[in-house]
Structure 1
Amino acid sequence: MLALLRRGPMYGYQLRVAFEETTGGTWPLNIGQVYTTLSRLERDGLAVALPESETGQRPYSITDAGRADLDAWFTTPVQRGERPRDELAIKLALALTTAGVDVPRVIQAQRSATMRALQEYTRLKNRTATPTDLSWLLVLDAMIFQAEAEVRWLDHCETTVVRHARTTPPTETGAEEPAKERAR
């Protein structure tokens, strides 16, 4: 929100539209979330509410403290440990340790979905290749690279699962015992 407010004063709906235009709608914002964020920014002295317009909308403006905070955010690298949990990695870990789950099928279903998304991102990129859409093109590139990396990782998972199945003898019940149990 601060980066958008740096462009000039805006009210909530304008901020939501500007954010979605800038990111190509890849992370849609709930208008309530926008106003909650504006309230926090105002509470923290990073933005200030301006008088209501004639139409009843209250624009917000970035403060000097907000500019400093934004500059610090832009120059601070994103730490890998601060990223959200990876639902796919968790799903595969649980699939591997849950009896009766066809892990190769889980991997293949995800690979198919990721490939469809990759094709869609590539199609969008080819349709949006104008210099004025640079921010959207970079967001698309990030999505393409992440999808390509996910496909490579899924290929690796599939190979590892197959290799592990060939080298691990089944337990008496016919299911593989967890790695922790084998290590004891």
Structure 2
Amino acid sequence: MSIRHGLLALLERGPRYGSQLRSEFESRTGATWPLNVGQVYTTLSRLERDGMVVQDGEDAAGHALYAITTEGRQELKNWYEAPVDRTSPARDELSIKLAMAVGAPGVDIRGVIQSQRHHTVKAMQDYTRLKSQALTAIEKAGAKGTQERDDVAWLLVLEQLIFQTEAEARWLDHCEARLIRLSAAVVPGAERTTAAPTAAAPAPLTTDH
């Protein structure tokens, strides 16, 4: 639903046309979640069907403009005020991959974890560099007495991505440590099971303990 509400948020600032909405959405989010024009117009059609936007004439270049309605403003207000539901998380490919890798024949699950950790840490470093650029842009704008909303919005998105990748890297460390501990607990048990028949014969071996 974020595309739907994101477009409503942009339309609250004034009438806009499809490709303009796409550009502004990507600018505000740093193109983290790129849109195509088809997605935008499909969403606009549904919003129009639901009475949340209306067509509002054309601009000088002939682009069809869309404007938010009273119903659309109320929907946007409700979205801002309601917390995002975390009780039904979206499917996470990495979690599913590791869950399927446990016990899978021929799969080195620790190798999967280490490969993913390398990728995750690199992504975190890239986001950190982009954060530095965003902070520089904000500082320059502040020195000029201006405030660029897109840079601030992009900074918030970047910081969320940094925290997310940091958490994922810690989780991967935890997964690997968990597997090591479980392996250490299981392997000695297996050794005792196979060693029992030979260890039972000589009595001195049992009495020394």
Instruction: Please say whether Structure 1 and Structure 2 have the same fold, judged by a TM-score greater than 0.5.
Output: yes
**Moved beyond 3 Å, runs of 4+:** none
| Counterparts of residues 50-61 of structure 1 (less than 5 Å) | 50-61=56-67
TM-superposed deviation, 1:54: 4.0
TM-superposed deviation, 1:112: 0.3
Q: How many residues align?
A: 171
Give ranges in structure 2 of 5+ residues lacking alignment.
1-6, 139-146, 191-209
60, 75, 90: which one aligns with 1:69: 75
Identity of aligned residues (%): 54
Distance 1:97 1:8 in 2: 56
Give ranges in structure 1 of 5+ residues lacking alignment.
172-184
Secondary structure class of the residue paired with 1:51: strand
Which of 155-164 and 122-131 deviates more? 122-131
| 1:149 matched to 2:167 | yes
Q: Deviations over 1:5-58 (max 9, x none)?
A: 111100000000000000011000011000000000000001111223342311
Aligned to 1:139: 157
Q: State TM-score, norm by structure 2.
A: 0.79
Larger Rg: 2
Which of 110-119 and 81-90 deviates more? 81-90
Distance 2:73 2:67 in 1: 10
Larger helix fraction of residues = 2
Q: State TM-score, norm by structure 1.
A: 0.89
Secondary structure class of the residue paired with 2:67: strand
Q: Deviations over 1:125-152 (max 9, x none)?
A: 1111115211000000000000000001
For 2:176, give the aligned amino acid. E
| Counterparts of residues 1-80 of structure 1 (less than 5 Å) | 1-80=7-86
| 1:108 matched to 2:108 | no
